[in-house]
Structure 1
Amino acid sequence: MSHARRLLRAVRWTLIPVTVTALAVAFTSAQASTVGHPQSTAGSAHSLLVRTANGVVRGAATTEGRQFLGIPYAQSPTGALRWQAPRRAADWRGVRDATEYGDYCAQNTYWAPGYSTQHTTEDCLDVNVYTPPATSRTASLAARLPVLVWIHGGANIGGDARDIVPDTFARRTNSIVVTVDYRIGAFGFLTLPGTTGNFALLDQQQALRWVRSNIGAFGGDAGRVTLAGQSAGGSAVCAQLASPAGRGLFRAAIIESGAYFDCGGSTRAQAETTGLAFAKKLGCTDAATAAACLRAKPAKAILDAQNGTGPETWNPTVGGRELPVQPAEAFTSGQASRVPVMNGATSDEGLVFAYDSFDRWGNALTADAYPKALTSAFGDTIGAKALARYPLSTYERPGYAYAAAYGDYLFACPALRADTRLAQRGRVYSYEFADRTSPLFASLPQDADFDFGATHAAELNYLFKPYGISARLDAEQRALADQMTAYWASFIHGSAPSAPGQPVMPDQKSAPGTVLQLRTASRGGNSATSETGKAHNCDLWDAAAGS
């Protein structure tokens, strides 16, 4: 629905990538901290030198292990290479320093940490590699570690691979984590006559090929790669599952809050119409030469023209070689990769969206305005039905009622629909993060008079260090983080998601519609339930989606 797409665009900052991957079984006390600084340790110099296919890189030792930052996996997509498929990175001589992050990919501003200024650099196709302390390039094949490749979120128009720091995760899960930067916004998704439009997806695939060719030198197993992402990053995982070119590049996948809009993209005709309209904004009016005309424009001009656009504009193009059919169709028709998938969402996804639509601007939703807000978001017919399903008498504030409807429509029910579809092409394990005591995500206002509960991205605090900051967890939350770490880690290591003393995450083949809810012990603990669809009114939202 176009109404809801506009709302999603308005809160693009909440879709920042901070993904779910698998921390470890033994979480230590989570105190607010930043990435460890490089340390000089006896015998570490050799292990910090790694020979890749392009040349030697020197990383850094930290309190958690080793990190190699800003390694190019493709050439700079500038000049004639703008809006072209990525090309193999150029080789270098000598030792390349890999102790600092590369540049942000070109994007506009928003108020999350690190994004207060416009970034205009296009030379950004880098990966960051995090390893536990004991790995080395001389590790035997049997000793090589599984690999998690993380795709950041950001509504396809923002975000960066550094938005999560997974060094502690890598140590605790005894795995290697690779975070990926890729082209976003117009640079990653613009479709014009003569272009594919799926440059972001092609970048991600090129990064996966780099992992396949190089991860062994870091102690990783190229045959045990799990592709993961949250929000827009999770949606990208959907697309990669459906892409013929993605087959064989990963052996498992994790989708966190990424099934919104049923993982769908624009048709070729829609994408070209949108692309040509965008080109005209910049004075490139001839369809035959629009791509060449735009390549001559500075990055800032393209970003300025992009301002005010969002997910309804910049998303994958369906109907070409990279993505022949919509992911939902690929899942049900058997055209998608048949790798194991872990898929889920949070129980209160919509709260942060409701806050950013109303309370953030000092305009809290009132009871009188509530019915109109629903019809504005979902149309008259569905809005009226939603009013009956989400009565104000059930909620402390109108904004919370609106949030429940919006989150169920956009995330909870699409995740359950994705479970059903994914189960037709292979194993899929389903979870719902439902810890309403969760600490606030790092980019949220810490002093807001608003209960964010288990909102969008809340689970990332239990797995990673968003923006390099460890969330402050109490004893019960740390126990839940340990359990979640075990679930994610076992999946990354090749087993069904499980944790000591906890129920196994349900497989949708044997237990269709059953979801593992993740909660602290005093709130009921982890438990499998078949009532998730009913709790989120999915009969209403499935009918609205035409499912």
Structure 2
Amino acid sequence: MPPHPRLLRRARRIVLSLAVATAALTPLSARADQPSRPAGGPVLVRTENGWVRGETTTEGRQFLGISYAQAPVGDLRWRAPRPAAKWKGVKDATRYGNYCAQNTYWAPGYDKQHTTEDCLDVNVYAPPPGPGGRHRGKLPVMVWIHGGGNIGGAGRDIVPDTFARRTHTVVVTLNYRLGAAGFLTLPGTTGNFALLDQQQALRWVRANIGHFGGDRTRVTLAGESAGGSAVCAQLASPGSRGLYRAAIIQSGVFGDCAGATRKKAVADGIAFAAKLGCTEPAGAADCLRAKPTKEILDAQRGTGPDLWRTTVGGRELPLQPADAFASGHAARVPVMNGANSKEGLVFAYDSFDRWGTPLSADTYPKALTSTFGEETGTRALDRYPLGAYDRPGYAYAAAFGDHLFACPALRINPRLAERGAVYAYEFADRTSPWFASLPQHSDFNFGATHAAELNYLFKPYGRSADLNTEQHTLSAQMTAYWGSFLHGSPPHAKGQEAMPEQGFRPGRVLQLRTASAGGNAATTTLRAEHHCGLWDAAPDAVRLRGTP
């Protein structure tokens, strides 16, 4: 049976929080709501829609809150995005745009409900120009899709200005519609509006990124958590073909990237609309378009964890991504795919310890069976015995993370390899800094948990993580791996083992570790270490791999 809804709701909430609040509690290099203090005067760039004024910073140039689509309000609700209108004069691009409509949670900046739907913006970060004020040719581009469980977050949640400078690339982050606004499917609508938003942002990049020094022919689509799952879906979506040349999936293959069948999605959509008094299925979309945003957001509270995901079976996503990969009906571009070694730690903490109810030897077996079902939970008790862990919460975390992240990432690699090159990694620094949303004085060891790798690549929320000397070295190496991939070569770093390509070395994965933990090294033992034989045969894993 599938995981218990209560625990899945907590998992969804903590994914959302971590995706928007990752970083150690270190001094800010800038205000939390703006990335970098300006180091120079304004910068003018002419886009296809009109002039924008950005600014120079200590890391390069940045242009914030540029509209890539019209506001999806009124009659444009639950419709494909329309290109942004042209404007006259010069548009200020020195501050972020609006958050997309979403409910509250405890992450910084999300302490109030956001009801604005005019939010389809991009942020552009470019490195400093070379001598003479110009770059040598156009630079590779990374387009980043934020995480947040498909119900929260924003493009501003990571600040990649230092990454852009170090990798000599242009980085674009984007907003997309969330929750009901982005994933509701009703009779007469296509659903998948979040995917369509992301595709429209990619079209904006193709049309405009050259004005910012980027190369429209060398775009890599990347994302983490729900953002990584979106990348997975875009690989299988015909509508995004030709808009990017490579892809990066970070901790995004949970559930094998599976979406809901159209039949289920429409049934769920009709039930959601009925909660708001829109009881006639044929007219539900028009009825909901007349509802205030706040009323729709209030109705989202308490909805199930599987309600807001992609819809499979239409032209936007004809096949489940895993099936599209295996059958060759997916984009044939290089892919970098990976997860973290201890993904489940923060989920275990949030399910139990955060609420003052840590697992004990007596409650641990029931936690496994209530999460994974009686049969699978009982088998997991043998694979994750309490004697192998310092506390029951760590044992539960290992099972949860292996089931939800590690094994799906390893399982999908052979399918990805059917349609092109795929490079595999596992982030494994067990001493990684903690997140701002976690208690800094807890004795719970979070280590290489979900989203921990973001501290080594970017500045989540504009904050530079408090890395020690070894971790700074690992950060530089990871930046080199990611940067080399953006530049079109297999991921590599000077003096380090290259990231294995799965078609050439199937099952071989590069573990990213500090020197004292063994350094970066490829291994073939991860399937055994994560007990993937158990999770690949689990009933819910089989269900999620099915076709619509």
1:33 aligns with 2:24: no
Q: Is the 8 A contact 1:364 1:399 kept in 2?
A: yes
1:184 aligns with 2:172: no
Give the aligned partner of residue 486 of structure 2. 492
Task: Map Cα deviations across residues 251-296 of structure 1 (whole Å, 9 max, x no partner).
Answer: 0000000000000000000000100000010000000110011000
What secondary structure, in the 3-state scheme, does the structure 1 residue paired with 2:319 have?
Answer: coil
With over 3 angstroms needed to count, the CA separation of the structure-2 counterparts of 1:137 and 1:19, relative to structure 1, is farther
Distance (Å, rounded) in 1 between the aligned partners of 2:442 and 2:8: 21
Q: Which amino acid aligns with 1:220?
A: G
Q: How many residues are paired up?
A: 532
Q: Is the 8 A contact 2:343 2:405 kept in 1?
A: yes
Distance (Å, rounded) in 2 between the aligned partners of 1:452 and 1:89: 43
Map 1:78-117 → 2, pairs under 5 A: 78-117=73-112
Map 1:49-448 → 2, pairs under 5 A: 49-134=44-129, 143-448=137-442
Give the aligned partner of residue 467 of structure 2. 473
Distance (Å, rounded) in 2 between the aligned partners of 1:414 and 1:392: 24
1:14, CA displacement in angstroms?
3.4
Q: Which amino acid aligns with 1:217?
A: H
With over 3 angstroms needed to count, the CA separation of the structure-2 counterparts of 1:507 and 1:282, relative to structure 1, is same
With over 3 angstroms needed to count, the CA separation of the structure-2 counterparts of 1:208 and 1:18, relative to structure 1, is farther
Distance (Å, rounded) in 1 between the aligned partners of 2:93 and 2:28: 25
Q: Is the 8 A contact 2:17 2:107 kept in 1?
A: no
Q: Which amino acid aligns with 1:12?
A: R
Q: Which amino acid aligns with 2:29?
A: S
Q: Which amino acid aligns with 1:371?
A: P
Q: Is the 8 A contact 2:14 2:350 kept in 1?
A: no
What secondary structure, in the 3-state scheme, does the structure 2 residue paired with 1:429 have?
Answer: strand
Q: Which amino acid aligns with 2:453?
A: E
Distance (Å, rounded) in 2 between the aligned partners of 1:447 and 1:184: 33
1:17, CA displacement in angstroms?
8.9
What secondary structure, in the 3-state scheme, does the structure 2 residue paired with 1:261 have?
Answer: helix
Distance (Å, rounded) in 2 between the aligned partners of 1:231 and 1:164: 13
Distance (Å, rounded) in 1 between the aligned partners of 2:6 and 2:323: 25
With over 3 angstroms needed to count, the CA separation of the structure-2 counterparts of 1:4 and 1:470, relative to structure 1, is farther
Distance (Å, rounded) in 2 between the aligned partners of 1:415 and 1:135: 39
RMSD of the TM alignment (CA)?
Answer: 1.8
Distance (Å, rounded) in 1 between the aligned partners of 2:255 and 2:435: 24
1:446, CA displacement in angstroms?
1.8
Structure 1, 447-456 or 410-419: larger mean CA deviation: 447-456
Q: Is the 8 A contact 1:17 1:152 kept in 2?
A: no
Q: Is the 8 A contact 1:390 1:401 kept in 2?
A: yes
Q: Is the 8 A contact 1:156 1:311 kept in 2?
A: no
With over 3 angstroms needed to count, the CA separation of the structure-2 counterparts of 1:13 and 1:175, relative to structure 1, is farther
Give the TM-score taking structure 2 as reference length. 0.95
Distance (Å, rounded) in 1 between the aligned partners of 2:303 and 2:127: 40
Q: Is the 8 A contact 1:53 1:213 kept in 2?
A: yes
What secondary structure, in the 3-state scheme, does the structure 1 residue paired with 2:415 have?
Answer: helix
1:137, CA displacement in angstroms?
13
Distance (Å, rounded) in 2 between the aligned partners of 1:214 and 1:396: 53
Distance (Å, rounded) in 2 between the aligned partners of 1:105 and 1:121: 6
Q: Is the 8 A contact 2:491 2:498 kept in 1?
A: yes
With over 3 angstroms needed to count, the CA separation of the structure-2 counterparts of 1:517 and 1:225, relative to structure 1, is same
Task: Map Cα deviations across residues 521-546 of structure 1 (whole Å, 9 max, x no partner).
Answer: 00111100000000000010011123
What secondary structure, in the 3-state scheme, does the structure 2 residue paired with 1:2 have?
Answer: coil
Which structure 2 residue ranges, 5 or more long, are not aligned? 21-25
Distance (Å, rounded) in 2 between the aligned partners of 1:79 and 1:239: 27
1:322, CA displacement in angstroms?
0.2
Q: Is the 8 A contact 1:131 1:170 kept in 2?
A: yes
With over 3 angstroms needed to count, the CA separation of the structure-2 counterparts of 1:105 and 1:450, relative to structure 1, is same
Q: Is the 8 A contact 1:19 1:233 kept in 2?
A: no
1:448, CA displacement in angstroms?
2.2
Which structure 1 residue ranges, 5 or more long, are not aligned? 21-29
Distance (Å, rounded) in 2 between the aligned partners of 1:471 and 1:179: 20
What secondary structure, in the 3-state scheme, does the structure 2 residue paired with 1:39 have?
Answer: strand
Distance (Å, rounded) in 2 between the aligned partners of 1:277 and 1:383: 31
With over 3 angstroms needed to count, the CA separation of the structure-2 counterparts of 1:330 and 1:145, relative to structure 1, is same
Q: Which amino acid aligns with 2:89?
A: G
Identical aligned residues as a percent: 70
Q: Is the 8 A contact 1:188 1:199 kept in 2?
A: yes
Distance (Å, rounded) in 2 between the aligned partners of 1:40 and 1:480: 31
1:60, CA displacement in angstroms?
1.1
Q: Is the 8 A contact 1:6 1:312 kept in 2?
A: no
Give the aligned partner of residue 9 of structure 1. 9
What secondary structure, in the 3-state scheme, does the structure 2 residue paired with 1:143 have?
Answer: coil
1:7, CA displacement in angstroms?
2.7
1:39, CA displacement in angstroms?
2.9
Q: Is the 8 A contact 1:9 1:155 kept in 2?
A: no
Distance (Å, rounded) in 1 between the aligned partners of 2:438 and 2:268: 32
Q: Which amino acid aligns with 1:51?
A: R
Q: Is the 8 A contact 1:50 1:58 kept in 2?
A: yes
Q: Is the 8 A contact 2:19 2:148 kept in 1?
A: no
Structure 1, 118-127 or 31-40: larger mean CA deviation: 31-40
1:449, CA displacement in angstroms?
2.4
Q: Is the 8 A contact 2:17 2:437 kept in 1?
A: no
